[in-house]
Amino acid sequence: MVQTVTVKDKEGRPIEGLASKDFIVSEDGEPQTVSFVEFQRLPDRPVEPAAPTPSATAPPAATVAPATQGQISTPPPGDTRYRDRRLLVLYFDLTAMPPPDQMRAYTAAKKFIDTEMQPTDVLAIMTFGGGAVRVKQDFTGNRVQLLDVMDTLIYGDDKDGDGIPDNTDIGTAFGQDDAEFSILNTDRQLSALQTAATMLRSLPERKSLIYFASGLRLNGVDNQAQLRATTNAAIRANVSLFPIDARGLLAQAPLGDATRPSPGGLGMFSGQLAQAAVTSFQRSQDTLYSLAKDTGGSAMFDYNDLSLGIVRAAQAVTSYYLIGYYSTHGASDGRFHRVRVSLNAALSADITYRQGYFADKDPAKFTAADKERQLEEALMLENPITDITIAMEVNYFQLNTAEYFVPVAVKIPGSELALARRRGARHTVIDFIGEVKDDYGITVQNVRDKLDIKLSDDTAGQLAKRPIQYQTGFTLLPGNYVIKFLARDAETGRIGTFQTSFAVPNLNREQQRIPISTVVLSSQRVPLSDALYSVKQKTAAEAANPLVHDGQKLIPSVTRVFSRARDLYVFVQAYQRGPAGMQPLVAFVSFYRGEVKAFETEPLPVTGGLDARTKAVSLRFSLPLERLTTGRYDCQVTVLDPAGQKVAFWRAPIVVVP
């Protein structure tokens, strides 16, 4: 185990000359034997920018050949090329920046390399785009080499002669190629950051990753477990994240600028439209701030000179000690181990260090006898396992005046099981385990199930383009909950985790609007016997599932990505508690681009279908999407009660693809 420790006197100056006997290290209260101590001497950066330096004067020990395998090279034992060096990584998230912001980020990076880079700085360049994290340049202090890579990112260069610019990301080496899992959530961006941090873990020195992005937007279907796993990976790899908002300082018009039509509706007069725009912008920066705060870095927002963020990241790294010891907690259990570092009583100084780490975990080595126990332990880990991509959707439907049925849909890319197929397996078992906790952290519901999939040639061909979908359900009372769900491929031992919070409202208290359930959007209705999409559960909850109708189950899209070639199914329930009989309702579905209505269905009058037990009226739509062009929309479902003069709205973003 390697710890980086900063030791300063009362004046803030680094203290040098300390040895292993001067440090006291404990882990979970147990003393640890310090094996080595190495001091990294980093002079303070000058206030004034450095003048451009020819590449010939760059430190030869810090110059590394360009990366060709897409990885950060690990120096051999005894190699001191990174001693007394600041290791900075320029990471460009191309999926989170439009072209103007990309150019602004590239220009800032060039400015730093050309005028502000110091002799002690070594830089690496990474990009994320096209589903892959790529190392464009390994750590080097050669300015000319770094500037050449930046010019390639800006202008492109077909060095391979294949007709495709080298700065065009076309592969999917980072992960799965299921496009629908990448569009409407930030999980892939966070997982890519986790991949980048893992690449840097082989280097024991302190690393600063400067993350360029135009915000990191949360869309309501994001995996909180992935955010925690990314943070833990950075801490474990001794990487501090320094996010930079590539949008710079924005002066937003309250009702939008000239790039969009003038909005309409009551929101432009009440201030709701302007408030929504401000809230959306702030949320796009919240995740960036959280990543920086939790990893020991800092975020830079609302600055037009983005190179200042790189300078701040470099200034944050001062002289420090590398302390190595062999931990007495060698089990790969994924648990958090608290570390305490102090000096001998004779020494007095301010010490800064990481307070702990999460141990490694190796689910592939689970024994048959321990699988059940270890899967349960994985559910309780503070450090989530995110080897498998998971998307989840939680809905609610009222059963009676007190209880709600909460169906849970879990979707896994079929390509996740391709590894088992390549190993020659004839079938694979996916184990599922999950729990629902209330506001007090008490487990109120849990699930344990499995899905056995035969990997025949026919099924294997479908896995590349069809997801695995598991559905279960719970009966809950109104309240706030947190659900954590794990899926494990028993053939490969890989585990995925999804965690999110949700609320079940008390619709009996709704007086101003029509009480409605959540809205389910889908493009698939399949027979209950289709094992590739669902698990046959012999539970009472399945019988109460309103998504089952006429022997077919409605499959929630989860990712809300739909093809123009298929119909869109919309399902929602409205509840009528007061009247003795059925009151007529009117419902319709609208699609908006911004505030401009792109398409709206004809109003659907509903005069029957009231369930005597649940007092629910089921509303079902089947819409051809061929009328819509590809792109992003807001789908709005409106339910009207003409007699009671009440209305209910539901709105969510979707993406239409060819």
Measure the CA–CA gap between 6 and 41, rounded to whole angstroms: 11
Give DSSP secondary structure letters for 525-572: EEETT-TTT-----SHHHHT-TTEETTEEEEE-SS-EEETTSEEEEEE
Domain boundary among 308, 328, 360: 360
Tokens of 608: 């029957």
* pLDDT confidence of residue 59: 43
Count the helices and strands in the chain (H runs, E runs).
12, 32
Residue 386 burial (CB count, 10 A) = 25
Contacts of 419 (CB under 8 A, 6+ apart): 489, 491, 492, 494
The CATH number of the domain where 486 resides is what?
2.60.40.3880
* H helix intervals, 112-175: 143-155
Measure the CA–CA gap between 167 and 546, rounded to whole angstroms: 49
In a domain? residue 527: no
Residue type, 476: L
The residue assigned the tokens 């999926």 is: 95
* pLDDT confidence of residue 105: 92
Comparing C-alpha atoms, which of 415, 411, 527, 517 is closest to residue 472? 411
Secondary structure of residue 357 in the 3-state scheme:
strand
In a domain? residue 495: yes
Do residues 204 and 140 share a domain?
yes
The residue assigned the tokens 């080298």 is: 166
What range defines the domain where residue 215 resides?
Answer: 62-318
In a domain? residue 421: yes
Do residues 278 and 203 share a domain?
yes
* pLDDT confidence of residue 533: 45
Do residues 377 and 503 share a domain?
yes
The residue assigned the tokens 């028993």 is: 490
Tokens of 106: 């590239």
Burial of 89 (0-12, 13-18, 19+ CB in 10 A): buried
Measure the CA–CA gap between 164 and 67, rounded to whole angstroms: 19
Tokens of 73: 């090279």
Measure the CA–CA gap between 48 and 419, rounded to whole angstroms: 53
Comparing C-alpha atoms, which of 89, 175, 83, 103 is closest to residue 137? 89
Tokens of 519: 């809205």
Nearest 5 degrees, angle CA 300-CA 303-CA 47?
80
Contacts of 215 (CB under 8 A, 6+ apart): 96, 245, 247, 281, 284, 285, 288
Is 141 in contact with 52 (CB distance < 8 Å)? no
In a domain? residue 245: yes
Tokens of 223: 């995996």
Do residues 236 and 98 share a domain?
yes
Q: Which residues does residue 468 pair with via DSSP β-bridges, in sequence order? A: 412
Residue type, 496: G
Measure the CA–CA gap between 122 and 111, rounded to whole angstroms: 15
Do residues 324 and 427 share a domain?
no
Is 569 in contact with 522 (CB distance < 8 Å)? yes
Q: What is the mean pLDDT of each run of 10 residues along the chain (658 residues)?
A: 83 84 87 87 68 45 43 81 90 88 92 91 90 88 92 69 40 38 67 88 90 76 73 86 86 60 57 62 77 86 87 86 84 75 82 75 53 68 76 90 90 70 67 90 88 70 70 91 88 81 90 90 78 45 72 83 90 81 88 85 87 86 90 91 87 88
Contacts of 380 (CB under 8 A, 6+ apart): none
In a domain? residue 259: yes
Do residues 313 and 204 share a domain?
yes
Is 137 in contact with 123 (CB distance < 8 Å)? yes
For residue 88, give the H/E element and its range: strand 86-93
Tokens of 382: 């503070």
In a domain? residue 446: yes
Residue type, 258: A
Return the biggest CA–CA distance within the chain.
88
Comparing C-alpha atoms, which of 108, 127, 211 is closest to residue 168? 127
Do residues 189 and 211 share a domain?
yes
CA 439 to chain centre: 24
In a domain? residue 167: yes
Q: What are the pLDDT digits (tens) for 572-589?
A: 999 987 666 778 899 999
* pLDDT confidence of residue 146: 93
Measure the CA–CA gap between 39 and 149, rounded to whole angstroms: 32
Positions of E strands within 297-346: 320-325, 336-343
* pLDDT confidence of residue 397: 94
Do residues 170 and 305 share a domain?
yes
Do residues 196 and 312 share a domain?
yes
Is 74 in contact with 203 (CB distance < 8 Å)? yes
Q: What are the pLDDT digits (tens) for 61-72?
A: 444 444 334 678
Helix axes 99-111, 307-315, angle to 10 degrees: 50
Residues belonging to the chain: 658
163: left (phi over 0), alpha (psi -120 to 50) or beta: left
* pLDDT confidence of residue 421: 60
Burial of 170 (0-12, 13-18, 19+ CB in 10 A): exposed
Do residues 291 and 242 share a domain?
yes
Do residues 205 and 136 share a domain?
yes
Measure the CA–CA gap between 155 and 166, rounded to whole angstroms: 10
* pLDDT confidence of residue 278: 61
Positions of E strands within 228-318: 239-245
* Edge-first strand listing for the sheet containing 2-8: 34-40, 320-325, 2-8, 350-352
Is 326 in contact with 35 (CB distance < 8 Å)? yes
The CATH number of the domain where 176 resides is what?
3.40.50.410
Structural domain count of the chain: 3
* pLDDT confidence of residue 557: 85
In a domain? residue 70: yes
Measure the CA–CA gap between 17 and 319, rounded to whole angstroms: 12
Do residues 277 and 410 share a domain?
no
Comparing C-alpha atoms, which of 561, 519, 525, 458 is closest to residue 651? 519
- Indicate the DSSP class of residue 183: H
